[in-house]
Chains A and B, each alone.
Chain A
Amino acid sequence: MDFLQILALLFKGTGYTLMVTVACSATGMVVGLAIAMLYRLDWRPLQPLLRTFTYVFRGLPVLVLLFIVFFGLPNLGLRVPPLVSMMLSLGVIAGAYLGEVFRGAFDSVDRNEVLAAEAMGMSRLQVLLHIELPQMLRFAVPGMINEFTTVLKYSPFAYTVGIPDVMKEAMALSAATLRGVEIYLGVGLLYFAIYKILVSAVWALEKRYRVPGLTGH
């Protein structure tokens, strides 16, 4: 079996790797947006809760949280499927980080535009959705790319909960063929390729929706 064949076998796991990455990134987006928008709405009693949530989920290791959800919750009678476990651990943690990214990006939106919209008679929520959010998302692109690639790099943990991603394929292959070095080298190259493609894809998307003069491009 030559190197290319190894790569081909590893490739089978790519679909699952991408699925995990996309699912966790999407969870992160939802959680992050929720956090950032709740912050923005400035409800005093909520602030300390949001801060605590962010602090806790930025302080927990992904692996530990994953084990709490997948191996721990059954103790409380809750059996969580593997993919959902990934989303509830890696996804929520990504959400905590994205929440901070979005918070900063919201601050970059011009206060005057918000005032103008409110003066027009828009409700707080309408201003948030139609003025602040579209701008904020564009400012947040570098931070989002950073976080999505981080999610990709923690996605191999999925093997510990039984998802047959690239990592799992590699371990099976390694046990069978004893060609560990080539296999894991191949894994590294594969992840690197996915990483590069992912980054290019997001930048292409950014370009499609870019507003001239807004983000300094």
Chain B
Amino acid sequence: MSSMLAFLQRMADYWPQVLSGLGNTVLLAVIVTITGLLGGILVFYLSLSANRVCRRLTEAYISFFIGTPLIVLLFLMYYGLPQWGVQMSPLTVSIIGFTMNVSAYNARYLATAYRGLDPDELQAARAQGFSDGQVFRLITLPQVMRLSVPALSNQAILNVKDSSVAFLIQYTEFFAQMQDLAVRSFRFFDAYLVAGAVYLLLVSLVVLAARHLERRYVLPGTRRREP
């Protein structure tokens, strides 16, 4: 369609903004995938604690952040906290909010994988004389991580898609830039369609990476679990 071509030309004119927006999207998605994974491992570790209070609190944390919309958390920090004098940049708010949310989900995936572990192996490790920390680090974690690759990589895909939510708290990521272009050109349909196509491309890249990861790290002799 000629209208689409015209729009794409317009987009090319605004190339620097669009690129910076894309960069911000990737930045947020990558940071949050990493912090969400590390956070998830930490929360998962806490959920295994011998201390019952610790376990209960961790379960409550996971339950709450799985049951509450991400956007509410972001709005709370971005629009709410300034009224208490705490002002944070959209990126900071996004990173904190996403991390808390994503680590809860990741912890849940790791805990599910944990239920599939052979308790004898953990007992053998303790029988060898490994400390609880060593058992976690050398046996539990490597195995749950490998079993969780499909679920964890799905979460990475979700992080890319959900980064668009940050647009609503004024983070100038890719969707925000496309919105800007849409308003300037009045070509809303074209702009959002192109935006959608770009997200599909980004997601496809992650899917390819995930498939590669799954092939490399699946435990030999185990069936692939559907996420």
Contact = CB atoms under 8 A, between A and B. Distances in A.
Most chain B beta carbons < 10 A, residue from A60, A74, A154, A185: A60
A68 interface: yes
B136 interface: no
A174 interface: yes
B188 interface: yes
A64 B203 contact: no
Interface in A175-200: 178-181, 183-185, 187-188, 191-192, 195-196
B19 interface: no
B200 A68 contact: no
A61 B200 CA distance: 9
A62 B199 CA distance: 11
Given A61-B164, A61-B199, A195-B67, A71 B188 contact: yes
A76 B4 CA distance: 12
Instruction: Tell me if A's interface is mostly helix, strand, loop or mixed.
Output: helix
B175 A64 contact: yes
Interface string B171-192: 0000100010010001111111
A71 B203 CA distance: 23
B73 interface: yes
A215 B176 CA distance: 46
B79 A174 contact: yes
Contact of A75 (B84, B167, B188): B188
Nearest to A143: B226
Nearest to B182: A71
Count chain A CB atoms within 10 A of each CB in B67, B82, B164, B165 and give the residue with the most. B67
A152 B69 CA distance: 8
Given A59-B200, A192-B68, A184 B188 contact: no
Given A60-B199, A67-B192, A74-B188, A184 B79 contact: yes
B80 interface: yes
Contact of B175 (A61, A191, A196): A61
Interface string B148-166: 0000000001000110110
Contacts of A179: 83
A181 B80 contact: yes
In which size bucket is the chain A interface? 35 or more
B68 A188 contact: yes
B76 A184 contact: yes
- Most B CB contacts (10 A, CB to CB) among A60, A61, A154, A191 go to A61
Contacts of A170: 75
B204 interface: yes
Interface in A147-167: 149, 152-157, 160, 167
For chain B, what secondary structure do more than half of its interface residues adopt (helix, strand, loop), or is it mixed? helix
Contact of A64 (B75, B187, B199): B199
A184 B189 contact: no
B189 A188 contact: no
A82 interface: no
Contacts of B189: 68, 72-73, 75-76
A46 interface: no
Interface string A48-86: 000000001001111111011001111110000000000
B79 A180 contact: yes
B193 A72 contact: yes
Nearest to A153: B69
A174 B167 CA distance: 19
B133 to A, nearest CB: 33
A76 B190 CA distance: 10
Given A75-B189, A183-B80, 14 more contacts: A56-B200, A59-B199, A61-B162, A61-B164, A63-B167, A64-B192, A71-B192, A75-B188, A153-B68, A156-B71, A170-B75, A171-B75, A174-B79, A184-B79
27 contacts: A59-B203, A59-B204, A61-B164, A61-B175, A62-B161, A63-B168, A63-B175, A64-B196, A67-B188, A67-B192, A68-B189, A71-B188, A72-B192, A75-B188, A75-B189, A149-B67, A157-B71, A171-B79, A174-B80, A179-B83, A181-B81, A181-B84, A184-B72, A185-B76, A185-B80, A188-B64, A191-B67
